[in-house]
Amino acid sequence: MGIKIALAGNPNSGKTTMFNSLTGSSQYVGNWPGVTVEKKEGKLKGQKDVGIIDLPGIYSLSPYTLEEVVTRNYLITEKPDAIINIVDSTNIERNLYLTTQLLEIGIPMVIALNMTDVLKKNGDTIDIHKLSKYIGCDIIETSALKGEGCKEAAEKAVELAKKNKKMIPPQMFSQGVEKVLSSIAELIKNVVEQNTLRWFAIKLFERDQKVMEQVNLSQDQKDQIEALIVQLEEELDDDSESIITNERYNYISGIVNKCVHKKNTSKMSTS
Ligand code: BGO
């Protein structure tokens, strides 16, 4: 069996441009089963045994849009061998919101830090080495428009897939939240795969209905999880989903402050 690599990223991050650069003319377009969301597949140029699948452009892995649900169901149930996460380097803070969630699913992943031609033109810099260390993921600089770095990103994805590289998602939440996530993980460790444990723990903490239906839990386990969530919600005076969203943004913001240097912060963005 060949290797399957999925392209994931925000809308307008350059996914289509990257997909075209990687697959050339070997593309076929259809729909995801049961929904009118476009599904594009192709073969990596020069490597017939490597399939590339373009996932819908999304901002989050929440259950609120068709595109989000298609993407996360594919990642959880079909399990591609690796992900290339296309990140728009000129809009990194918003893009990393999805990146951190993709890492939680536990599939080997490389970041294609795209639009670096624009970044350089603007005179901005990103400390790739530091960023890679903070988020625990390899990063390749790309300009999909110029075809630069795309091949290297795909080669890295193939390498990670072959090694079945274990991803370690960063612990980005406050102590109280991390403690509850560990307790939930402990409760569900026998019903979900080890690699996906953090994803399921976070989604159950958020009371994600779709995920709750997917995980086979006894009523007693569900009650224990609910009690843990309610206790922390009372302590922090916020609902669990907002707690996760806010702490995720805070974490990303901290990283961006340390790794991104804008030449002119006062200049208005033209995009
Ligand atoms: C237009 N560098 C630069 N400079 N641009 C890039 C890069 C890159 O690395 N990668 C992609 N783009 P999509 P999604 C456009 O279409 O691949 C550009 O949604 C235009 N079109 O060319 O479509 C890419 O699939 C008119 O730009 O993204 C595209 O993820 C004027 O980013 C856009 C200017 O890429 C989105 C740009 C008629």
Ligand 1, residues 7, 10, 12, 21: which to mutate, most atoms within 8 A of Cβ? 12
Structure tokens at 95: 């893009």
Distance 231 CA to ligand 1 centre (A): 46
pLDDT tens digits, residue range 135-157? 999 999 999 999 999 999 999 99
Q: Is there an atom of ligand 1 within 6 Å of 21 CB?
A: no
The pLDDT value recorded for residue 270 is 55
Q: Give residue 107's pLDDT band: very low, low, confident or very high (50, 70, 90).
A: very high
* Closest ligand 1 atom to 142 CA: 9
CB 55 within 8 A of CB 32: no
Euclidean distance between CA atoms 204 and 195, whole angstroms: 16
* Closest ligand 1 atom to 148 CA: 9
Q: Give residue 264's pLDDT band: very low, low, confident or very high (50, 70, 90).
A: confident
Higher per-residue pLDDT: 36 or 134: 134
The pLDDT value recorded for residue 263 is 86
Q: Is there an atom of ligand 1 within 6 Å of 260 CB?
A: no
Q: Is there an atom of ligand 1 within 6 Å of 145 CB?
A: yes
Q: Is there an atom of ligand 1 within 6 Å of 118 CB?
A: yes
Euclidean distance between CA atoms 12 and 14, whole angstroms: 5
pLDDT(174) > 60 = yes
Nearest to 202 by CA among 100, 87, 56: 100
Structure tokens at 102: 């993709």
Instruction: List, as one string, the DSSP characters of 166-224.
Output: PP-----S-HHHHHHHHHHHHHHTTTS-GGGHHHHHHHHHTT-HHHHHHS---HHHHHH
Q: What is the mean pLDDT of residues 145-171?
A: 95
| Residue 57 three-state SS | coil
Q: Whose CA is nearest to atom 24 of ligand 1?
A: 14
The pLDDT value recorded for residue 36 is 87
What percent of the chain stands above pLDDT 90? 89
Any idea which of 40-44, 100-104, 151-155, 260-264 has the lowest mean pLDDT? Answer: 260-264
Q: Give residue 103's pLDDT band: very low, low, confident or very high (50, 70, 90).
A: very high
ipTM above 0.95, yes or no: yes
Q: Whose CA is nearest to atom 8 of ligand 1?
A: 115
**Strands ordered across the beta sheet of 3-9:** 27-31, 38-44, 47-54, 3-9, 82-88, 109-114, 138-141
Q: What is the mean pLDDT of residues 72-82?
A: 95
Q: Is there an atom of ligand 1 within 6 Å of 115 CB?
A: yes
pLDDT(121) > 90 = yes
Ligand 1, residues 59, 119, 140, 145: which to mutate, most atoms within 8 A of Cβ? 145
Any idea which of 12-26, 92-106, 219-233, 237-251 has the lowest mean pLDDT? Answer: 12-26
Distance 25 CA to ligand 1 centre (A): 19
Q: Give residue 266's pLDDT band: very low, low, confident or very high (50, 70, 90).
A: low
pLDDT(97) > 90 = yes
Q: What is the mean pLDDT of residues 62-86?
A: 95
Q: Is there an atom of ligand 1 within 6 Å of 196 CB?
A: no
